[in-house]
Amino acid sequence: MLKKKQAYTVAILGATGAVGKESLEILEERNFPIETLRLFSSKRSAGDVLSCQGKEYKVEELTEASSFAGVDIAFVSATDTISRDYGARLGATGVVVIDDSAVFRMDPDVPLVVPEVNAAALRSMKRGIVAIPNCTTTPLVMALKPLRDIAGIKRVVVTTFQSVSGTGSAAMDELVDQTKALMAFQDVKVQVYPYQIAFNLLPQVGSFGDGGDCSEEVKIVQETRKILEMPSLRVTATTVRVPVLRCHSEAINVELDRPLKANDARAALAEMPGVIVYDDPVKKLYPMPFDVSGKDEVYVGRVRVDESITNGLNLWVVSDNLRKGAALNAVQIAECLIQ
Amino acid sequence: MLKKKQAYTVAILGATGAVGKESLEILEERNFPIETLRLFSSKRSAGDVLSCQGKEYKVEELTEASSFAGVDIAFVSATDTISRDYGARLGATGVVVIDDSAVFRMDPDVPLVVPEVNAAALRSMKRGIVAIPNCTTTPLVMALKPLRDIAGIKRVVVTTFQSVSGTGSAAMDELVDQTKALMAFQDVKVQVYPYQIAFNLLPQVGSFGDGGDCSEEVKIVQETRKILEMPSLRVTATTVRVPVLRCHSEAINVELDRPLKANDARAALAEMPGVIVYDDPVKKLYPMPFDVSGKDEVYVGRVRVDESITNGLNLWVVSDNLRKGAALNAVQIAECLIQ
């Protein structure tokens, strides 16, 4: 755990990526007690200058020779390889690593944390590493927790609508570039995704294994169970990439243990820290990526009793995948650890 | 029913709309026996000249005074008001009306038909009107029918990803115009939808009633029950508009009565006329709007056993909403009626 200090030396591995840049903004907005900041990236972006809390920092190239002496907290949001290569090493040398990859999430010695849901799990940290969940799992468990607490959960069917920023900056550029090309009747270049994403849908997030699920679907099931501490919770997921730049949306169907009226579900959700209920469809008020981009909270709308099953409930959840889905959740974990 | 003829006089009400134009193409492609064609539109498009089967036809303005003498079959795909005002009147005067609106679908004297699923229902036509289902219901029942026949269906949870062409030509223009404006950093104009659709998602299709469901969700439930002749089938739907021009996609979770392996489900689906199983995710083969646009068949992929429930199955279905979802289905009904 972290020694109590006035201010901390913070490293960001992957500082120039979509999540890294968001982390800098969030550390500044939340006035995180930073003594000094070390920013790391691949060779391509090394030398860039980024600012945080009124100071400028030059981005260093991350190499085998990089020294992390004096670093208290490292936010790692780069590639699985970087997490694997540096996460365990840093964790073992006394740095608290808050890791955004899937590498450590299911390790029983690594807490997988959404502070509003399971901050207590931080006590079980054994390797100096805390993992943050996949950016679709976080809003899901934020919505499920208050429902579980009030009515119990039997089964969850979730369908995701995931923005391209979940893949990173290059995917955001690809969507914009493809869109511009199509508007100019030019050929579309496909690099990040296997197919054109502009004006299209890809029913694949991550890669496919033998079972027919893609890796994102497996992550949602496993991570939800771990975070909610319900190892046999019944969850099925279908994950779809959509031509949206920012925010992940989810259609969630829940079978509860006990009856719950829509109004009571809304009340329970509204009491959940970090959740905003935005739900008056007759007035056309429901969460949309367009509105939720840049917001910290998980927005929940379209709360409806599902009459097709006893104790059924439908929800529509939208969350900024770069904020609560990644950078914000990581910074909130750091805030818990320094309290 | 229709008298047997060598060729028929066909009217299209809404000839210049997205579905109307598709109807002309399909009548030509399928070499439908047309004696003569009468094309109707609102004042705005009247006078346009459209061609079909090598002949040119001038679009007439649809007015109270329009005469339909000699018309055998009328395809109606305009507004609910046009269907209400002209459908019943034409049906009562001996014209066979094939109607694309929601106005008559739940009328017990009006068959609601997807020929591959329930062509026999055409025998129950009493008002001279046949309704075609909503463009999300058609692919859903096409996928459900073979599964029901082989393993029975207990419950369906469906989440839709609906393209803007389901709303019509003006919505397609709106998505393109908004996209162009955003790419040029200009303000976006919102006219057809309540909010910007470009790079956004709207969890509303149709209008909201008291129950919290939007009208599209209610249609899916009611129409699926009527077409499958399962009046108490348990169905819940969440319908979402996505920034895609053409094709509706659906994530379908089915609880079956009896166990069904994924391969057996694929085999049953592959035998269904009008369905193509396109499902090898490891090779990145799955249906996408981009590929299915302009296709007649309903494409099914991502067939997976859902382990979260006994006898569960997940499917991903993509269908061209203007073809099988509308114009093609209507022409197929006409083909059944003249056989």
pLDDT tens across B107-143, in order? Answer: 999 999 999 999 999 998 999 999 999 999 999 999 9
Which element (helix H / strand E) includes A146? helix A137-151
**Structural contact between residues A256 and A154, judged by C-beta atoms closer than 8 angstroms:** yes
Write down the catalytic residue from B52, B135, B214, B247: B135
Least CB–CB distance from B253: residue in A157, A183, A306: A157
Which element (helix H / strand E) includes A228? helix A215-228
Q: Is A128 known as a binding-site position?
A: no
pLDDT tens digits along B155-184: 999 999 999 999 999 999 999 999 999 999
Q: Is B18 known as a binding-site position?
A: yes
What CA–CA distance (Å, rounded) separates A123 from A336?
11
Q: Is A88 known as a binding-site position?
A: no
> Chain A: nearest CA to B120, how far in angstroms?
28
**Structural contact between residues A313 and A260, judged by C-beta atoms closer than 8 angstroms:** yes
The residue in chain A having the minimum alpha-carbon distance to the alpha carbon of residue B309 is A234
Least confident of A121-125, A296-300, B152-156, B196-200: A121-125
Mutate to test the interface with B, among A155, A201, A202 (most CBs of B within 10 A): A201
pLDDT tens digits along B269-304: 999 999 999 999 999 999 999 999 999 999 999 999
- Tokens describing residue A190: 């496909």
Whether residue A44 has pLDDT greater than 80: yes
Least confident of A152-161, A271-280, B205-214, B254-263: B205-214
Beta strands in B100-177 (DSSP E): 129-131, 153-162
**Structural contact between residues A259 and A179, judged by C-beta atoms closer than 8 angstroms:** no
ipTM: 0.95
Q: What is the pLDDT of residue B277?
A: 98
CA nearest neighbour of B277 among B261, B262, B257:
B262
Average pLDDT score over chain B: 96
| CB neighbourhood size of A130 (10 A) | 25
Q: Is A241 known as a binding-site position?
A: yes
The residue in chain A having the minimum alpha-carbon distance to the alpha carbon of residue B193 is A284
Q: Which residues contact A122 (CB under 8 A, 6 or more apart)?
A: A111, A113, A130, A333, A336, A337
Contact criterion met (CB < 8 Å) for A200 and B287: no
What CA–CA distance (Å, rounded) separates A76 from A59?
14
Least CB–CB distance from A201: residue in B157, B249, B309: B249
Q: What is the pLDDT of residue A200?
A: 98
Contact criterion met (CB < 8 Å) for A201 and B281: no
Estimate to the nearest angstrom the gap between the alpha carbon of B142 and the chain centroid: 11
The residue in chain B having the minimum alpha-carbon distance to the alpha carbon of residue A282 is B208
What CA–CA distance (Å, rounded) separates A89 from A95?
9
> Chain A: nearest CA to B134, how far in angstroms?
20
Least CB–CB distance from A159: residue in B234, B251, B287: B251
Overall average pLDDT of the A79-95 stretch: 93
Contact criterion met (CB < 8 Å) for B201 and A286: no
Overall average pLDDT of the B70-80 stretch: 95
Q: What is the pLDDT of residue B1?
A: 67
Contact criterion met (CB < 8 Å) for B314 and A238: yes
pLDDT band for B211, please (50, 70, 90 cuts): confident
The C-alpha R_g of chain B, in whole angstroms, comes to 20
| Alpha carbon distances (Å) from B157 to A318, B34, B149, B167, B221 | 20, 41, 18, 23, 10
CA nearest neighbour of A325 among A33, A121, A26:
A26
pLDDT tens digits along B259-269: 999 999 999 99
Which amino acid, A257?
Answer: D
Contact criterion met (CB < 8 Å) for B236 and A208: no
Q: Which residues contact B85 (CB under 8 A, 6 or more apart)?
A: none
Write down the catalytic residue from B52, B214, B247, B248: B248
What CA–CA distance (Å, rounded) separates A51 from A59?
10
pLDDT tens digits along B316-335: 999 999 999 999 999 999 99
Which amino acid, A129?
Answer: I
Q: What is the pLDDT of residue A63?
A: 94
**Structural contact between residues A301 and B203, judged by C-beta atoms closer than 8 angstroms:** yes
What CA–CA distance (Å, rounded) separates B294 from B321?
9
- Chain B contact set for A314 (CB, 8 A): 236, 238
| Alpha carbon distances (Å) from A165 to A13, A176, B67 | 18, 11, 56
pLDDT band for A157, please (50, 70, 90 cuts): very high
- Report percent pLDDT > 70 for chain A: 100
- Tokens describing residue A126: 């054994």
Q: Is B248 tagged catalytic?
A: yes
Coil, strand or helix at A224? helix
Write down the catalytic residue from A52, A135, A214, A247: A135
Q: Is A45 known as a binding-site position?
A: yes
Overall average pLDDT of the A154-167 stretch: 97
pLDDT tens digits along A46-66: 999 999 999 999 999 999 999
Overall average pLDDT of the A211-222 stretch: 96
pLDDT band for A7, please (50, 70, 90 cuts): very high
Average pLDDT score over chain A: 96
Q: What is the pLDDT of residue A209?
A: 84
Structural domains for chain B: 8-133+326-338 (3.40.50.720), 137-163+201-321 (3.30.360.10)
| Alpha carbon distances (Å) from B283 to A206, A247, B118, B302 | 13, 28, 35, 12
- Tokens describing residue B60: 């007439």
pLDDT tens digits along A313-331: 999 999 999 999 999 999 9
DSSP letter assigned to residue A285 = B
What CA–CA distance (Å, rounded) separates A119 from A332?
10
pLDDT band for B243, please (50, 70, 90 cuts): very high
Whether residue A1 has pLDDT greater than 80: no
What CA–CA distance (Å, rounded) separates A81 from A100?
12
Q: What is the pLDDT of residue B4?
A: 87
Whether residue B84 has pLDDT greater than 90: yes
Q: Is A52 tagged catalytic?
A: no
Do you know the residue count of chain A? 339
- Tokens describing residue B193: 């939808």
Do you know the residue count of chain B? 339
What is the count of residue pairs from A and B with beta carbons less than 8 Å apart? 161
pLDDT band for A210, please (50, 70, 90 cuts): confident
pLDDT band for B251, please (50, 70, 90 cuts): very high
